[in-house]
Amino acid sequence: MNPSKNSLAYDLQEPFRFLVDLAVINLIETERMDAKAIIRTESYSLRLKLSGAKKVTEEFQSWMNQKVPYQINSVTWSYSLLLKTRESAQYLLVKGRL
């Protein structure tokens, strides 16, 4: 295993990846993201300009601040990510994998 890789970090973010999708879809559906914020590269892939990236970042932050039910409480998505990370760390510590 390469110690410079952050595999566990990527595994922890995966269950929350849909929030980025929701942020982008919401920007497009509400017409706050337009073609001017996107660049088509020579290889025909699409990239965001700085203005588009800023909009996505702000929208994603807005989603992360929304409250969701978590166990018996209501917490923000960002706090639920922290709680799930702690739960995973505790599980791995008990199993002797960390």
- pLDDT of 77: 93
Q: DSSP readout, the chain?
A: --TT--HHHHHHHGGGTHHHHHHHHHHHHTT-S-GGGEEE-TTS-EEE-HHHHHHHHHHHHHHHTSEEEETTEEEEHHHHHHHHHHHHHHHHHHTT--
Q: How far apart are CA 92 and CA 31, in angstroms?
A: 44
Mean pLDDT of the chain: 88
Span 49-87, pLDDT tens digits: 999 999 999 999 999 999 999 989 999 999 999 998 899
Domains contained in the chain, CATH given: 7-94 (1.20.120.920)
